[in-house]
Amino acid sequence: MRITRFGAVAAAVGTGVLVLSGCSAPAAQDSGLDEGTSVNVAWNQAFYSYNGSTSFGNATANNNITSMTLSDFKYYDNTPELQKDESFGTYELVSEDPLVVEYTVADDAVWSDGTAIDAGDLLLGWAANSRALDTPEFDPTEFTDPETGEFTDDFPTDVVYFDSGAQPDTGLGLVQEVPEISEDGKTMTLTYSAPWVDWELDFPPMLPAHVVAKNALEIDDDAEAEEALVTAIEDNDAAALASISNFWNNGFNFTELPEDEGLYLSSGPYVITDFQADQFITLEANEEYAGDRTPNISEITVRFIPDPNAAVSALENGEVDVISPQATTDVVDALEAIDSATVLTGSEGTYEHVDLMFDNSKSGHFNDPKVREAFMKVIPRQEIIDKLIKPIVGDDAVTRDSQVFVPGAEGYDESIEGNGSDAYADVDIEGATALLAEAGVTNPEVCVLYASNNPRRVNEFQLIQSSAAQAGFNVTDCGSEEWGGLLGTPGAYDAALFGWQSTSLGVTEAGPNFQTGGINNLNFFSAPRWTLSSRSSVESSTPRSRSSSSRRSTASCGRTTTASPSSSSPR
């Protein structure tokens, strides 16, 4: 049955959380599961990876789903404030000097196959998200397929490389020594090598260690496999860890329901039960779940509808109950014509921006800083606002001139006074042309990656293409429906146009975007000081908090959908 209390809820801006509101907060859990109920939700990008902690899987489309299937020690509520999920486990600051943190998994926390969550899962989570055991100096760049964004078949089998983007001087990267595990296998103690203010946000949702070990080490028995994984980590067995890291990187990527149920085991309120490529994914209440984030709805089906106008039609026809489309004038007009629809609107911090590949780009032109600067000067930021955004949200829409602070937030005005953003406030064809002449480049080709099935991005691409041509740029089309997995892929494109979303309130939240090798540093940028020429924001609306927010939206049960609460993800 369709849940009439959800009605036909839709939104022009900022209602992604309604899509996945099938779980009650701990205080409301006495409502319990409403047997036989279901809800159909529309989302604009298909799920493709169960591991949102990798550079390939780091996307809202994936973590909207895993937010309902993978439990965590903490989550953000809808205030947003960080909350602890002590029904899954606890964490405690044992010491500040040195910084020591202890994680303990609840006794009744289990995977959906009944396997207890314990030492193997904890240690695998540390190894993958600290990269402390990785082969030194290994660079995976030449082993990434520019057509898919995944690692190629000739990826070295003797290399330990966890694709989590962890850095040795931040977060779990500061925990280089193998953590201590308690005798009962339920507690892990981490000792940091230096103070870290956001320690509470470091540990992301875990993947099942016994599944990784069975596949990587070819051991059939669950307990035996997990024990072998624990031994490999504690002994720093490079041969075993190479296989383990390879499977952790790639084994959870799928675009239809795998035959191996282990690849989508749940530790959360819901478990995946059906998945049809490019069509839908269905989740049902997890019978093994004993936590406080109690499901209200028996079944949730997320239907993949990239075109927002098609999503509106599906809503009107009763095919879906909830949509969260990207706002366009056509969408707003169509929604207003549906008498039965309840339209909720609001602001969010998602912002459109352009990423340039500083290195390993398709054409190689952006290795030259003058060419990069020239291209930034021709991006018609204000025209995009005036033509695509203001007709929907009104004259309050503004460009965003800081990559760290959002308009209206404390520190924003001070930030933009000295960050050089005023050099890109208006299109400067003359300045761009002069820079290309200085660089000795004529008609440089710039291939732009964007979501080819997203009307707003198509329009933005066309406006950029037209403006850039006036300065001599040959902007070509690298648009793809599989754009998410291609982000950061060497040789796949020159510039990427997409939206950023982050649900983190961490002090160091911006780090993964700009650090050398950071998981969200998709353009191979590396410099002692970051400058605006790395990224150009073209749109912003005022969010509800200081933290910038983009397409890994907070989803079900009030918890964050980010791989780590200190990271962002593409929308």
Other Cβ atoms less than 10 A from the Cβ of 197: the count is 10
In a domain, 312, yes or no: yes
For 542-555, b/e burial (b = at least 16 CB within 10 A) is: bbebbbbbbbbbbb
Same domain? For 166 and 212 the reply is: yes
Per cent of the chain over pLDDT 90 is: 59
| Residue 560 is assigned to a structural domain of this protein | no
pLDDT attached to residue 541 = 33
Sign of the dihedral defined by the CA atoms of residues 518, 520, 524, 525, in that order: negative
Could you read off the pLDDT of 426-461 as tens digits, one per residue? 999 999 999 999 999 999 999 999 999 888 899 999
Shared-domain flag, residues 159 and 228: yes
Q: Are 225 and 316 in a shared domain?
A: no
Where residue 482 sits, what CATH number does that domain have? 3.10.105.10
Q: Does residue 3 lie within any of the structural domains?
A: no
**237 shares a domain with 131:** yes
Residues 319 and 445 in one domain: no
Residue-wise pLDDT for 461-475, tens only, equals: 999 999 999 999 999
pLDDT of residue 568: 55
Mean pLDDT throughout 184-199?
96
Number of domains in the chain: 3
Query: What CATH number is attached to the domain comprising 90?
Result: 3.90.76.10
| Higher pLDDT pick, 137 / 125 | 125
CB contact at 8 A, 502 and 552 = yes
Task: Examine residue 422 and state whether it is found in any structural domain, yes or no.
Answer: yes
Helix (H) or strand (E) holding 181: strand 180-181
Angle between helix 119-130 and 209-217 (nearest 10): 70
Answer yes or no: do 29 and 140 share one domain: no
Instruction: Show which of 189, 223, 250 is a domain's final residue.
Output: 250
Residue 440 lies in a domain: yes
Q: Look at residue 515 and tell me whether its pLDDT is greater than 60.
A: yes
Q: Which amino acid is at 397?
A: A
Shared domain for 233 and 103, answered yes or no, is yes
Same domain, 317 and 300: yes
Enumerate helices (H) and strands (E) in the chain, giving the number of each: 16, 18
Question: Radius of gyration (Cα) for the chain, nearest Å?
Answer: 23
Considering the domain boundaries, does residue 94 fall inside one? yes
Tokens encoding 564: 């780590």
Q: 56-95, pLDDT tens digit by residue?
A: 998 889 999 999 999 999 998 877 788 999 999 999 999 9
Q: Could you tell me if residue 394 is inside a domain?
A: yes
Same domain, 409 and 509: yes
Question: Phi and psi at residue 202, in whole multiples of 5°?
Answer: -75, -40
Task: Identify whether residues 47 and 87 lie together within a single domain.
Answer: no
Q: How high is the pLDDT of residue 551?
A: 30
The mean pLDDT of 222-241, rounded to a whole number, is: 97
Shared domain check, 355 and 246: no
CATH code for position 62: 3.40.190.10
> Quick one: 37 and 107 in the same domain?
no
Best CA proximity match to 444, nearest among 496, 380, 498, 494: 494
Query: Which domain, by its residues, includes 449?
Result: 351-548
| Predicted confidence band of residue 322 (pLDDT cuts 50, 70, 90) | very high
Domain final residue pick, 343, 378, 410? 343
Least confident of 22-26, 160-164, 541-545: 541-545
Could you tell me if residue 566 is inside a domain? no
Judge contact between 394 and 347, C-beta under 8 A. no
